[in-house]
Amino acid sequence: MSVIHNFSAGPGILPKEVLKQASEACINFDNMNLSLLEISHRSKNYVNVMDEARQLVKDLFEVGDEYEVIYLGGGASLQFGMVPMNLLSEAGYAAYVNTGVWASKAIKEAKIVGNTKVLASSEDKKFTYVPKGYEIPSDADYFHITSNNTIYGTQMKSFPKSPVPMVCDMSSDLFSRRVNAKDFALIYAGAQKNMGPAGSTMVMIRKDMLGKSGRKMLSMLDYSVHIKGESMYNTPPVFPVYVSMLTLRWLKQNGGVDWIEKINQQKADLLYNEIDRNSCFVGTVEKEDRSHMNVCFLPTKAEYEAEFDKIAKERNLSGIKGHRDVGGYRASLYNALPLESVQVLVDAMKDFEKKFA
C-alpha cells in the first residue's frame, strides 16, 4: 500500500499506532470481547478511559487540582456560546481579539449572550497578521483569544499578560508547543485538528471561574453540571474521547510537549525556508506571525496551480488545497505528521521549480 502524506487541516492526521489501537478497540475493547462502541459509558472499563483522558490533559499542561477538565460534544463552535454563558455577567462585558474566521464566530456568539467588545482585529488586511499593542481592560469579565488561525495560517507566538481571566481557543495548535497553561482561566479545543477525531471537545477551566455569570442556564450548557458529572452528565462522545486519550498517551510516552515542539519547529522551518527560496511560491502572512501548524502559500503565477496539483497527486500529497477564502495551498503540520512527509512536499516544490520556473 502506498504512503499517503496527509496534510489535512481537519479532521487531521493521527498517529498510526493510535489508529491501530482504536481499530482493535472497535472489535475487542480492553479484552472484554465487546466493542468499545457497544459498551456502557458507565462501565468501569470506560470510566477508566475518561479519567485518564482528563488527567493526561493536566499532565501535559502541568497543572494541578485548581483546574477541571471535561470532554463535551458540539465542537469548539458550541464553546463560542458556552464561554460567555458561563463567564459573562449580565452587568459586565467580555473583551475579544479578532484574528480570523473562528475568532469572528466566537465574537458573534458572545454578542448574543451579552456585552462584547473587540479590542483589536486583523480583518483590515484579510487576517494576514496577528494584532499587537492593544490594551486589555482591567474591568472586563474575561479576555478571549484564538491561538492559531487555521484558515489564514497565523499563530500567536506569545500570549499577552492579562489583568483579567484569559480564555483561549487552542483547537488547531493544542499541545504542539509549550505554553504556560496557568496563565489561562479556560482553554478549549475541538479534538479533530491535533488531538483526536471529530466529535469531542476538551475544556480545561480553573475552578474559581465557575458560577461567575449569575445567569440561569440549561443544564447541558453549564460547565459546573458537566464537572460534577465527570464528563458524563449525558452519554459522552465515547469513541472520540478514547482516541483522544490514546493520542495524548502517545504524546506523553514519546517525550511530551517539549519533544513534539522540536519536531514541529523542524517541520515548519523546512517548509517555510522552501517557500521563501522557491521562485514559484509565496507565503500569505506576515513572517513573524506564521503558523507552525497551518502553512499557507500561493503559486506566483495562476497557471502554476493546475500543474502543481498534478505533481501533488503523483507524490501522494493529500489535503494541501488551500481554504476557499485564501486559495493556493495549505499544509497542516499537526503533531502526528512525520518530518518525512514535509520533505516529500518540499522535494515536490523543488522539482516543480526546476521544470516550470
Radius of gyration from C-alpha coordinates of the chain: 21
Homologous superfamily, domain 256-356: Aspartate Aminotransferase, domain 1 (3.90.1150.10)
Euclidean distance between CA atoms 335 and 247, whole angstroms: 10
**Hey, where are the domains in the chain?**
16-253, 256-356
What confidence score (pLDDT) does residue 2 get? 84
Q: Exactly one of 141, 169, 222, 289 is catalytic; which is it? A: 169
φ, ψ for residue 72, nearest 5 deg? -130, 170
Q: Exactly one of 141, 193, 222, 289 is catalytic; which is it? A: 193
Instruction: Report which DSSP code applies to 83.
Output: H
C-alpha cell recorded at residue 72 = 463535551
Sheet holding 281-283, edge to edge: 281-283, 294-299, 329-332
The listed CATH number (3.40.50.10490, 3.40.50.1010, 3.40.640.10, 1.10.3720.10) that belongs to domain 16-253:
3.40.640.10
Closest CA to 85 of 146, 160, 142: 142
Helix axes 238-253, 44-61, angle to 10 degrees: 50
Instruction: Please tell me whether residue 4 adopts helix, strand or coil conformation.
Output: coil
What confidence score (pLDDT) does residue 1 get? 67
Euclidean distance between CA atoms 302 and 203, whole angstroms: 42
* The overall pTM is greater than 0.85: yes
Neighbours of 123 (CB within 10 A): 14
- String of DSSP letters for 205-249: EEGGGTT-S-----GGG-HHHHHHTTT-SS---HHHHHHHHHHHH
**What is the full per-residue pLDDT of the chain (357 aa) written as tens digits?**
689 999 999 999 999 999 999 999 999 999 999 999 999 999 999 999 999 999 999 999 999 999 999 999 999 999 999 999 999 999 999 999 999 999 999 999 999 999 999 999 999 999 999 999 999 999 999 999 999 999 999 999 999 999 999 999 999 999 999 999 999 999 999 999 999 999 999 999 999 999 889 999 999 999 999 999 999 999 999 999 999 999 999 999 999 999 999 999 999 999 999 999 999 999 999 999 999 999 999 999 999 999 999 999 999 999 999 999 999 999 999 999 999 999 999 999 999 999 998
* 347 in active site: no
Preceding amide of 137 cis, omega within 30: no
Instruction: Report which DSSP code applies to 183.
Output: G
C-alpha torsion sign, points 147, 200, 22, 252: positive
- Type of residue at 107: I
* 169 in active site: yes
* 321 in active site: no
